[in-house]
Amino acid sequence: MSSSFLSSEEYDERAHQLYNEGNYEAALATLHEGLALYPHAVELHVGLGYARLARDEFAWARRSFEEALVLDPEHEDGLAGLGETMLRFGEPDVAKRLFTRIRALGYEDDVELMLQVGRALFRDEQFEEALEFFEVAVRQTPDSAEAVALVGYTQHRLGQDEAAAESLRRALKLDGAHVEARIYLGNLLYDRGDYEAALYQLDQTQPEDHWDELGIWRLVELRKAHRHVADGDPSFEPWEARLAELTPVADQTDELLAELESRFNEQDAQQSRDQLELFGSLLNELAGGAAAPTTHRVELADGRQLDGTWDEIVVGMRDAAPSAANRSVEEFMQSEARRGFSITGRLIPDGDAESFLRGCADAGLLRIVH
C-alpha cells in the first residue's frame, strides 16, 4: 500500500519502530522513501544514520549524520550519532568535541542522550569521559538505578573498586531487580576475595539472568565451599542447564575450524591462505564431491545484492557503474579503493577481489552477507 501521503514525522515514527524491532533493512527502505518526498527532513537523515550505524555501514552513517548537521548544525541526535561514528573510525578526539558540543548546547537534562553518549564512550574504552556523562545523568535523575549502575561499571574499569561497589549497592537499593548490577557486584566482590558477600549477591540471581558463564561457575563454586552443597545436588541442575545453553558443545567441523584458525594466527598471511584453500579442497574430497567455487553474497549501499564468487561480485559491481564500463576489473578496484579512502580515510586493498571486498566492508561501504 502506498505511503506517499505520510508526513515526514510519520515516516520517522514508522522507521523508528522498525529500528527498535531490529528490522534495519525495512527501516532503511522507509527512510529512503521518506527522504525522496522530504529531502530536507533532518530527523529522517538522522534516522538513516543510526540505521546505517546499526548495520556497521560507517561511511554511509557518517554521510547521513553530516547531511543532517548541514541542515541543522545544533541537532543533538545528529551530533551524538556523528560522534559515535567517529569513534568507530578511530577518531576519539573528534568524537569528544562533538559530545562536548552537545553539553554546551544545554542538553544535559536529556538523560537518555547522556546515557547514549556515555555508553558509546564506554564501548570505545574512553572511560574517564564516559564517567562524566554518566555522572551528568545521575545528577539529573539521582533515582535512576540504570544511570547509577553505569557509573559503577565505569568506576570499576577505572580501578576505583571501592567507589564502584558503593555505586552498585546504591543502584540495587534503587532497584532490587537490577540483575546486571547484582551480577556485576557479585563478580567484583569475588575478585576482591570477599566471597561471602559475593555469594550473597549471586545467590539472589536466577540462571536466566546470566549471559556468560563466569558468574554461574563462581556461584556453584561458592555454594560448594560455603554452603557445603555436594556435587550432583539437584539444586545445581538448572544452573548446569544454563551453562549448557551458554557453551554449546562444538561439533567436529567447529573443532576443525578452531584448529585451522589457531594455525592461521601462528603463520604469515599467505601461508595461512594457502592452508585455508587446501583445507577446503580436502573437505570436498572427503565428502566425495568435486571442489566447487564458494559463492558469496554482498549487499551494496543502495540495498542491491550481488551473488557469486569474489571475482564475479566485483565484475558485477563494475558493470553496474556506468562510469566504469570501459575499465578493467583491476582499474575498477583501484579507482574504488581511492574513492573509498577519500570518503572514509580507510585504506582498501586492491590486489585481489576478496581483499578488496573485505576492505570495502570494513570501511562500511558495503556489507558481506555470507
Residues 132-150: pLDDT tens digits?
A: 999 999 999 999 999 999 9
Q: What is the DSSP string of 296-350?
A: EEEEETTS-EEEE-HHHHHHHHHHH-GGGTTS-HHHHHHHHHHHHHHHH------
Where in the sequence of the chain do the CATH 1.25.40.10 domains occur?
Answer: 8-246
Question: What confidence tens digit (pLDDT) does each residue in 178-214 have?
Answer: 999 999 999 999 999 999 999 999 999 999 999 888 9
What is this structure's pTM? 0.67
Question: What confidence tens digit (pLDDT) does each residue in 267-317 have?
Answer: 554 554 455 555 555 555 555 554 456 788 998 877 789 999 999 999 888
Which residues does residue 308 pair with via DSSP β-bridges, in sequence order?
296
Helices 269-286 and 252-266, axial angle in degrees (round to 10): 160
Question: What confidence tens digit (pLDDT) does each residue in 83-125 have?
Answer: 999 999 999 999 999 999 999 999 999 999 999 999 999 999 9
Considering the four listed CATH numbers 3.90.550.10, 3.30.70.330, 1.25.40.10, 2.60.40.3500, the one that applies to the domain covering 8-246 is 1.25.40.10
φ, ψ for residue 299, nearest 5 deg: -105, 125
